[in-house]
Amino acid sequence: MKKYILICFLALVGSNLLVAQKPEIKRIDPQFWWNNLESRELQLCVYGTNVASYDVKLKTSEISISEIQKLKNPNYLLLYLNLGTFHGKEFQLDFISEGKTKTVTYQLRTLQKLPHQMEASDLVYLVFPDRFSNGDPKNDAIKTMLEPRCARDTMGARHGGDIQGIINHIDYFQDLGVTTLWLNPTLVNDQPAYSYHGYALTDHYLTDPRLGSNETYKKLADELHKRSMKLMMDLVPNHIGSKHWMMLDMPDDNFVNQWPEFTRTNYRATTHFDPYASEYDKKKMVDGWFDNQMPDVNERTPWVATYLMQSYLWWINYAGIDAFRIDTYSYNDYAFMDQCLAYIQKEYPDFYSTGEIWEQGGVLNMAYFTENNGFKKSPPSSHLTSAKDFQLYWSILDALNNKPEWDKGLAKVYNTLTHDGLYNNPNMNLTFLDNHDLNRYFTEIKEDFSKWKIGMGILLTTRGVPSIYYGTEVLQTNAMPRKNDGQIRMDFVGGWPTDTLTKFTVAGRTAQENEAYDFIKKFSRLRRDNEAFNTGKLMQFTPEGNTYVYFRYTASECFMVAINRGDKQEELDTKRMKERLVGFSKGHDHVSGEEMSDLSKILLPSNSIRIIELSH
């Protein structure tokens, strides 16, 4: 770390020697903006050789420069503009040095806002872009990048999947019942190794050329919107890649959080609300680096905060992003994230965001960061819509892998849901059974298909916004114990032109894989078409023995979900559930297809789930 900071310092010293050189503008971020936004303030980050030596003047009287900020590095110049009542398509900026003027025309577009609205009836599908489908082999390897190699036989290398490959399979997603695509990060990661994962971005405004272009990314969003589908962007505010273009020419000392020596975060989100936490531990959690190749961004620096926020709004406006999944949410500065999401919601009041809070610290550990939560000692405001529900994930796995006991097995699911009062709206939590950081779901349950259906049935009927990881629908597995994350990010079979087998078609899947695919297809539609699973209420009954029952209902709909985790058939006596069964005499089990004329006693096969639509 000391060596790295020394290099950055020498870079700054070297930059100071450029004062005598003629200024030259290399880039301005954002590259363009919009003329009809609610917020009329705009920060322009001007970068290039000695640009701080410029005097800057506007040629448009309706726009004013409220501030010009110079940083320690003379290669940066920050302009703060007030667009006022100006709604034109462009304006000119004069950059003046030694009597010579360079005029830059800055474009303003008119935005047609899309209705960004996620609902609990949505089904989110997580795609790992490099590992899903190769739609454009020409971009597999780019010699000018630090990791130019593409090698499918190497877990940690790039495999050639791209955005065009995802576009090519939108019909597949739609047939499965997917309404929202969530892509792992697609911004450029020009890092020397492991760049395929996307979480060490090196430019906030550029799609990784090995995945496509900004235009390709926008094309994906446009194609989804044509089908009333949505696009969720994976946002990474907390850290950047060590080869980020600003790290190679550090703007000033406060761009990233620096320590006397390399200091890794303590990964303890609980320090945010621990009444006994030390100031050191709080600081280490937020300011410590996630990894030595992922510098921690100093979000408390005002110009940095504005740069980040504008880049996120730029992508929403440019591509029509419908939602954010926010990486490592609890590692960010709380006040910054609140400011950031409020800034976005000023333009899009219903914009959906879900934060990754990955720590086994209980429900409070997630709810604390969400909007209007029930913890009285939470900060006064938060604009995070929901949490990515790790607590429910762990509970479902416990229910599937452990026999029911007082505090284990099915009781884990029950107990986790009893804490939902801590959330303002738990129905918007993003729920899941696996993802790009976890063992494959089918692997975790030891490839027991009966358990697979129970867990998937819970996911698709309980509260929350369900998400599935690519390949889960065809029972994809990973080696255990896994040696690296590449084993849980294996290529989707059939996604490459050279693949001899494809899981995209019925013919290419096994009978069991087709059964899994059809299960998701069936219950994703049941969820979408019945309001009970969207805005409806949830009522659960305490687990008894090997069984657990809950209901999803509205004034006009009611579904009963009954689970048996025992090795023998159980007869469920429904007397204690009378309050939810009043007025109903019949049922249809959507799992088995059985028509039921008597609801007083219900047979539950061993290790099974029944999803029963009640009728009068």
Give me the mean pLDDT over the 386-406 stretch.
97
Could you give the CA distance from residue 45 to residue 27 in angstroms, rounded to a whole number? 8
Is a pLDDT exceeding 90 seen at residue 414? yes
- For tokens 């090196």, what's the residue? 202
- For tokens 């034109």, what's the residue? 88
Reference 81, options 25, 23, 30, 47; nearest CA is 30
Give me the mean pLDDT over the 242-257 stretch.
98
- For tokens 């969530």, what's the residue? 182
Whether residue 298 lies inside any domain: the answer is no
State how far the alpha carbon of 445 is from the alpha carbons of 51, 451, 489, in Å. 59, 7, 18
What confidence score (pLDDT) does residue 6 get? Answer: 47
- Domain limit, last residue, from 499, 529, 559: 529
Give me the mean pLDDT over the 309-329 stretch.
98
What does the mean pLDDT of the chain come to? 95
What confidence score (pLDDT) does residue 213 get? Answer: 98
Spatial CB neighbours of 332, under 8 Å, sequence gap ≥ 6 = 237, 238, 286, 299, 326
- Tokens of residue 200, six digits: 């060490």
Exposed e or buried b per residue across 36-62, where buried means at least 16 C-beta atoms within 10 angstroms of its C-beta: ebeeeebbbbbbbebbbbbebebebee
Is a pLDDT exceeding 80 seen at residue 587? yes
Q: What is the pLDDT of residues 129-153, one digit of tens each?
A: 999 999 999 999 999 999 999 999 9
Could you give the CA distance from residue 510 to residue 474 in angstroms, rounded to a whole number? 9
Is the CA virtual torsion 268, 269, 273, 279 positive or negative? positive
Confidence of residue 15 (pLDDT cuts 50, 70, 90): very low
- Residue 196 has φ and ψ, to the nearest 5°, of -65, -25
Whether residue 270 lies inside any domain: the answer is no
Question: Out of 76-90, 224-238, 322-336, 363-377, which region has the weakest mean confidence (pLDDT)?
Answer: 363-377
Whether residue 304 lies inside any domain: the answer is no
Under DSSP, is residue 446 helix (H, G, I), strand (E, B) or coil?
coil
Whether residue 401 lies inside any domain: the answer is yes
CATH of the domain at 397: 3.20.20.80
- Domain limit, last residue, from 64, 83, 109: 109
Q: Is the same domain home to 498 and 563?
A: no
Q: Omega into 115 within 30° of 0, i.e. cis?
A: no
Confidence of residue 510 (pLDDT cuts 50, 70, 90): very high
Give me the mean pLDDT over the 338-362 stretch.
95
Q: Is the same domain home to 439 and 553?
A: no
Is a pLDDT exceeding 60 seen at residue 312? yes
Q: Is the same domain home to 442 and 544?
A: no
Q: Is the same domain home to 203 and 83?
A: no
Reference 131, options 492, 601, 440, 556; nearest CA is 492
Is 119 a residue of the active site? no
State how far the alpha carbon of 111 is from the alpha carbons of 28, 144, 306, 395, 413, in Å. 20, 35, 20, 44, 44
Amino acid letter at 585? S
Q: How far is CA 462 from the centre of its chain?
A: 21
Is a pLDDT exceeding 50 seen at residue 317? yes
CATH of the domain at 46: 2.60.40.10
Under DSSP, is residue 234 helix (H, G, I), strand (E, B) or coil?
strand
Under DSSP, is residue 87 helix (H, G, I), strand (E, B) or coil?
coil
Q: What is the pLDDT of residues 187-232, one digit of tens each?
A: 999 999 999 999 999 999 999 999 999 999 999 999 999 999 999 9
CATH of the domain at 544: 2.60.40.1180
Whether residue 306 lies inside any domain: the answer is no
Confidence of residue 173 (pLDDT cuts 50, 70, 90): very high
Instruction: Tell me the three-class secondary structure of 252-274, residue by residue.
Output: CCCCECCCCCCCECCCCHHHHCC
Q: What is the pLDDT of residues 263-297, one digit of tens each?
A: 999 999 999 999 999 999 999 999 999 999 999 99
Whether residue 68 lies inside any domain: the answer is yes
Q: Is the same domain home to 365 and 489?
A: yes
Could you give the CA distance from residue 356 to residue 391 in angstroms, rounded to a whole number? 11
Is 94 a residue of the active site? no
Confidence of residue 3 (pLDDT cuts 50, 70, 90): very low
Confidence of residue 483 (pLDDT cuts 50, 70, 90): confident
Whether residue 288 lies inside any domain: the answer is no
Is a pLDDT exceeding 80 seen at residue 459? yes
Q: How would you class 15 by CB atoms within 10 Å of its CB: exposed for 0-12, middle for 13-18, buried for 19 or more?
A: buried
Q: Can you give the residue range of the structural domain that contains 544?
A: 537-615
Q: Is the same domain home to 129 and 95?
A: no
Could you give the CA distance from residue 599 to residue 572 in angstroms, rounded to a whole number? 9
Q: Is the same domain home to 414 and 495?
A: yes
Q: What is the pLDDT of residues 70-122, one digit of tens each?
A: 999 999 999 999 999 999 999 999 999 999 999 999 999 999 988 779 999 99
Q: How far is CA 116 from the centre of its chain?
A: 15
Is a pLDDT exceeding 50 seen at residue 586? yes
What confidence score (pLDDT) does residue 448 get? Answer: 98
Is a pLDDT exceeding 70 seen at residue 305? yes
What confidence score (pLDDT) does residue 105 get? Answer: 98
Confidence of residue 59 (pLDDT cuts 50, 70, 90): confident
Reference 28, options 117, 105, 111; nearest CA is 105
Domain count, the chain: 3
Give me the mean pLDDT over the 485-492 stretch.
97
Could you give the CA distance from residue 366 to residue 373 in angstroms, rounded to a whole number? 10
Q: Is the same domain home to 425 and 329?
A: yes
Q: Is the same domain home to 82 and 162?
A: no
Residue 111 and residue 317 in contact, taking contact as beta carbons nearer than 8 Å = yes
Residue 58 and residue 44 in contact, taking contact as beta carbons nearer than 8 Å = no
Give me the mean pLDDT over the 593-600 stretch.
97
Is a pLDDT exceeding 60 seen at residue 128? yes
Whether residue 596 lies inside any domain: the answer is yes
Instruction: Tell me the three-class secondary structure of 141-155, residue by residue.
Output: CCCCCCCCCECCCCC
Q: How would you class 34 by CB atoms within 10 Å of its CB: exposed for 0-12, middle for 13-18, buried for 19 or more?
A: buried
Amino acid letter at 172? Y
What confidence score (pLDDT) does residue 89 get? Answer: 97
Per annotation, catalytic residue among 147, 162, 327, 444: 327
- Domain limit, last residue, from 504, 529, 554: 529
Q: Is the same domain home to 71 and 137?
A: no
Q: Omega into 481 within 30° of 0, i.e. cis?
A: yes
Q: Is the same domain home to 236 and 353?
A: yes
Residue 435 and residue 470 in contact, taking contact as beta carbons nearer than 8 Å = no
Residue 299 and residue 308 in contact, taking contact as beta carbons nearer than 8 Å = yes
Q: Is the same domain home to 463 and 368?
A: yes
Other C-beta atoms within 10 Å of 400: how many?
26
Per annotation, catalytic residue among 322, 356, 371, 398: 356
